[in-house]
């Protein structure tokens, strides 16, 4: 059974200027251990697709139709299902690590809260130990010190590692990552992507990745879907779509982007700094 199964998903957004069909009948599946990437220009509907699947769009703003199952549970038919899945079966890695955490609460306290939310009956002390283990798992230096720190005392790369650690704490079957590295310095991006790959190898999580960066897509994906104006215009194995694009929109996207990025440059990976 696929971890995520989406069939004919449509999302209509109620805007001041009328109804916008942001997602127009997309279908795809992700199996355990697979990474499926949605690429496309700004406004093509990538985030709306992800947010609709996580039921993070308000009911009065977005009308969903079609079918989507996460771990067999229909999340379009019933909002109740996703409540039970979110933070447990499904984890979201948000786009902007700087705003995702509460600025006035220490990193450790926020991690402990997240861990206790997804593991009922876990004591504070036990959650604290898990938080420390998780920071070690995401290769954060001086993890004891980071737990006591406030978010502004950590670099963007470290904060994104904290958010990935929090996503990991849920032992999710599906990780949704909407532009997980685009707010980060290019030298930090490669380390974060390596980390995601390492986690996936260990946990066999399915990853839904959203990016406008073809270098990221090529490094991470098994399959890609190219999105334009709410539809998938081209889908396939990453090598086929990126190296031999068939659709003119995909070719245009590829032309619009310069080099594929420094992912293969080992020198770029050693530069993530710690204060
Ligand atoms: N809150 C909103 N109110 C009105 N329209 C919206 C809203 N959010 C998104 N849209 C519209 O929905 C469409 C899809 O937007 P979406 O954010 O999903 O695109 P995206 O592919 O994620 O773009 P980006 O690469 O910039 O993140 C766009 O046409 C956008 O204008
Ligand atoms: Mg987006």
Q: How far apart are CA 192 and CA 94, in angstroms?
A: 13
pTM of the model: 0.86
- Top mutation candidate among 17, 19, 26, 44 for ligand 1, by most atoms within 8 Å of CB: 44
Residue closest via CA to ligand 1's atom 2 equals: 15
Q: Are 101 and 121 in contact (CB under 8 A)?
A: no
- Top mutation candidate among 20, 95, 253 for ligand 1, by most atoms within 8 Å of CB: 20
Query: Which atom of ligand 1 is least distant from the CA of 51?
Result: 18
Closest CA to 65 of 32, 19, 18, 15: 19
Q: Which pLDDT score is estimated for 256?
A: 74
Domains, the chain, in order of start with CATH, read: 1-89+208-263 (3.40.50.300)
Q: Which ligand is nearest to the CA of 22?
A: 1
Q: How far apart are CA 11 and CA 1, in angstroms?
A: 25
Give the chain's largest Cα–Cα span: 56
Q: Ligand 1: distance of its center to the CA of 41 in Å?
A: 11
Average pLDDT along the chain, 275 residues, taken 10 residues at a time: 96 95 98 96 94 93 96 90 81 83 95 87 94 90 96 91 85 90 80 88 94 90 96 95 91 72 47 47
Count of positions (residues) in the chain: 275
Q: Ligand 2: distance of its center to the CA of 33 in Å?
A: 24
């Amino acid at each position: 059974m696929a971890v995520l199964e989406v069939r004919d998903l449509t999302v209509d957004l109620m805007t001041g200027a009328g109804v916008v069909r942001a997602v127009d009948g997309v279908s795809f599946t992700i199996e355990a251990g697979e990474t499926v990437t949605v690429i496309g220009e700004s406004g093509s509907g990538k985030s709306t697709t992800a947010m609709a699947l996580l039921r993070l769009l308000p009911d009065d703003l977005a009308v969903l139709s079609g079918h989507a199952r996460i771990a067999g549970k229909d999340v379009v038919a019933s909002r109740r299902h996703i409540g039970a899945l979110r933070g447990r079966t499904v984890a979201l890695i948000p786009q902007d690590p700087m705003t995702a955490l509460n600025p006035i609460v220490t990193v450790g306290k926020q991690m402990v809260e997240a861990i206790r939310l997804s593991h009922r009956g876990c004591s504070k002390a036990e959650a604290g130990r898990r938080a420390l283990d998780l920071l070690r798992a995401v290769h954060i230096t001086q993890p004891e010190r980071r737990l006591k720190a406030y978010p502004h005392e950590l670099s963007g790369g470290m904060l994104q590692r904290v958010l990935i650690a929090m996503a990991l704490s849920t032992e999710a079957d599906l990780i949704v990552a909407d532009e997980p590295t685009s707010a980060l310095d290019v030298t930090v991006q490669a380390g974060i992507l390596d980390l995601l790959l390492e986690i996936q190898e260990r946990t066999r999580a399915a990853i839904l990745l959203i990016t406008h960066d073809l270098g990221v897509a090529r490094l991470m994906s098994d399959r890609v879907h190219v999105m334009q104006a709410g539809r998938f215009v081209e889908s396939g194995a990453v090598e086929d779509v990126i190296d031999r694009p068939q659709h003119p929109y995909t070719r245009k996207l590829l032309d619009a982007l310069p080099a594929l990025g420094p992912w293969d440059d080992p020198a770029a990976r050693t530069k993530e700094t710690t204060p």
